[in-house]
Each structure stands twice: as structure tokens, then as C-alpha cells.
Amino acid sequence: MAGRRDSAGDEMLSEAFWSVARQLRDTSQETLAPWDITPSSLRALRVLSRRGMMRLSELSDHLHIAPRSTTEVVDALESRGLVQRRSDPGDRRATLVEVTEHGASVLDAIRGARGTEAERVFARLSQTDRAHLARILRKLRD
């Protein structure tokens, strides 16, 4: 009998987790709407901002996506002036990509909007609950 209760509890926990994840995803998409940027493009922009100029192949590795998909993401970002490509001086066959000034300012604006949204979502939790949640999520992630 105890096993069933644990299983039912795990199922309820899983449902609650995915419900919150969907809410956060939906909120994130709404927050990104003014900039007309996809979550995958935002991830690429964030990686480039944190790590600096890199080859497309390195960006693919960081994003855990296929090189063809990375090219599509970078094409979309480049068409909006958020990143730029450069030839790699060490290897003419390779292309480097970096965030532009405009891309950095858009990323800052998005961070501000997302920070405000995160404050609104997590304001319902006490500081202690936030710390526990952060610890638990890190444990599940790692």
C-alpha cells in the first residue's frame, strides 16, 4: 500500500512540476513577444554574450543542437542585426559569430523584462522557500 501512495505522490508532484513549467514557458513567450525572438534564438544570444565570439560549431555544442539548426538560428539573429559573422583568421573555412551592440542592448532589455516577470512569479514564495526551490532544482538539473 505504501508503494502506491508514493507512486501517486510522485505522479502528483510530476503533474504540478509540469504545470508550473508550462506556465513559465507561456510567460516567457509572452515576455519575448515584443522583441519577436524565439527561445532558441535567445539561448544563442545569451551563450554568445556570456562566452564571447566563437565558431558556429562551438555554438552548436553549447546549444546542444545540430549545426544546421545553429546556422538557422544565427541567420535569424543576423538578419535582425543582433549578431554578426566574421571570417576566422586562424581558419578561413570557419566562421566566427559574435553579438552586436544592438544585440547586447536587446538582450539587456529582455533580461530586465524577464527579471521583472520572475520577481512577479516567485514573489509568492518566501525567501526560505525560494532558497529551497533553487537547491532542489539544481539537484534535479545536475
Tally of CB atoms within 10 A around 110: 19
Question: Residue 1: pLDDT above 60?
Answer: no
CATH number, domain 37-141: 1.10.10.10
pLDDT digit string, tens, across residues 94-140: 899 999 999 999 999 999 998 888 888 889 999 999 999 999 999 99
Mean pLDDT of 42-67: 96
At 4, the pLDDT band (50, 70, 90 cuts) reads: low
More confident residue, 55 or 28: 55
Nearest to 85 by CA among 74, 76, 93, 70: 74
At 31, the pLDDT band (50, 70, 90 cuts) reads: confident
- Predicted TM-score (pTM) above 0.75: yes
Nearest to 63 by CA among 93, 42, 82: 42
Domain boundaries along the sequence of the chain: 37-141
pLDDT at 2: 47
pLDDT digit string, tens, across residues 5-18: 577 788 898 899 99
